[in-house]
């Protein structure tokens, strides 16, 4: 599903990713852990196609295509989804309007018909109930005045509606209390599927108690420096990242 080869990326002339190699096979959930500043969030932005990052070397092979030059909106339509660490607030755009615009834009880009309003409403209702997203939240401007937990639930709701092939979850656990973490994790687990890959980026092991990965990678100074099974997360939790301090990114 996703194959990253020797990926180098910099922002404002400063190299953050220094040769990332990573393979996430279809249907697997991989975690990336690492100290602050190791390049985890940069990797998620570069994968999603954010402007402002210079990919200076390497490839991102998604579904058989190198998407390094593909604009963000086309990557999204092809099935890449990024759950933001800090979901943005958009005053004046109702959550429902945003969801419909996103879903229909992706369908249109794939040559599918736009959803009718009743069909769309049915899908939103089904997905939002599972995530405790209320009708009132859906009517409000996107993320405006939402609590940290509400914002993260809203991210997972978008993921459930957009049904990506590859979901990248950037620090989805940050700012969540135990109950919110459980709801979000259940939402993510419900979306695990043999056709869908996930890349879970986190600083702490606790998220991985809820979303158990197939593999854990350690990132340090812009590279993947170690790969192991779920037990690697426990080791990191016990010993910290001191062994991986490397050169500061």
What are the Cα distances from residue 194, in Å, to 59, 76, 140? 24, 20, 34
Establish if 131 lies at the interface with other proteins (CB under 8 A): no
Please state the closest distance from residue 218 (CB atom) to other proteins, in A. Answer: 26
Q: Using CB under 8 A, pick the residue from 34, 35, 39, 49 that binds other proteins.
A: 49
Distance CA 55, CA 227 (A): 24
- C-beta closer to other proteins: residue 148 or 246: 148
Q: Which of residues 134-173 bind other proteins (CB under 8 A)?
A: 141, 158, 162
Question: Exposed/middle/buried for 148, CB within 10 Å: 0-12, 13-18, 19+?
Answer: middle
Helices and strands of the chain, counted as H and E runs: 9, 12
Q: Using CB under 8 A, pick the residue from 38, 42, 95, 106 that binds other proteins.
A: 106
Please state the closest distance from residue 224 (CB atom) to other proteins, in A. Answer: 23
Q: Using CB under 8 A, pick the residue from 23, 55, 93, 121 that binds other proteins.
A: 93
* Category of 111 on φ-ψ map: left (φ > 0), alpha (ψ -120 to 50) or beta: left
Establish if 204 lies at the interface with other proteins (CB under 8 A): no
Of the listed pieces 76-84, 198-206, 219-227, 238-246, which binds other proteins according to CB under 8 A? Answer: 76-84
Distance CA 153, CA 168 (A): 15
Establish if 61 lies at the interface with other proteins (CB under 8 A): no
Length of the chain: 249
Please state the closest distance from residue 87 (CB atom) to other proteins, in A. Answer: 7
Establish if 120 lies at the interface with other proteins (CB under 8 A): no
């Amino acid at each position: 599903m996703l194959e990253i080869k020797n990926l180098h990326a910099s922002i404002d002339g400063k190299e953050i990713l220094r040769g990332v190699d990573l393979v996430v096979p279809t249907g697997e959930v991989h975690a990336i852990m690492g100290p602050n500043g190791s390049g985890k969030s940069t990797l998620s932005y570069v994968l999603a196609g954010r402007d402002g990052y210079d990919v200076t070397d390497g490839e991102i092979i998604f579904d058989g295509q190198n998407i390094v030059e593909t604009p963000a909106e086309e990557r999204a339509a092809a099935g890449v989804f990024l759950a933001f660490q800090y979901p943005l607030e958009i005053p004046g755009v109702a959550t429902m309007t945003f969801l419909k615009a996103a879903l229909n834009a992706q369908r249109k880009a794939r040559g599918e018909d736009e959803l009718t309003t009743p069909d769309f409403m049915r899908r939103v209702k089904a997905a939002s109930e599972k995530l405790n997203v209320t009708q009132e939240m859906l009517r409000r401007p996107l993320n405006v005045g939402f609590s940290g937990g509400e914002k993260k639930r809203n991210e997972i709701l978008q993921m459930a509606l957009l049904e990506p092939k590859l979901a990248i979850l950037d620090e989805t656990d940050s700012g969540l209390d135990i109950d919110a973490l459980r709801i979000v994790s259940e939402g993510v687990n419900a979306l695990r599927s043999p056709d869908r890959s996930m890349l879970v980026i986190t600083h702490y092991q606790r998220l991985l108690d809820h979303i158990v990965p197939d593999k854990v990678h350690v990132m340090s100074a812009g590279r993947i420096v170690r790969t192991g099974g779920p037990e690697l997360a426990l080791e990191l939790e016990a010993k910290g990242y001191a062994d991986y301090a490397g050169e500061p990114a």
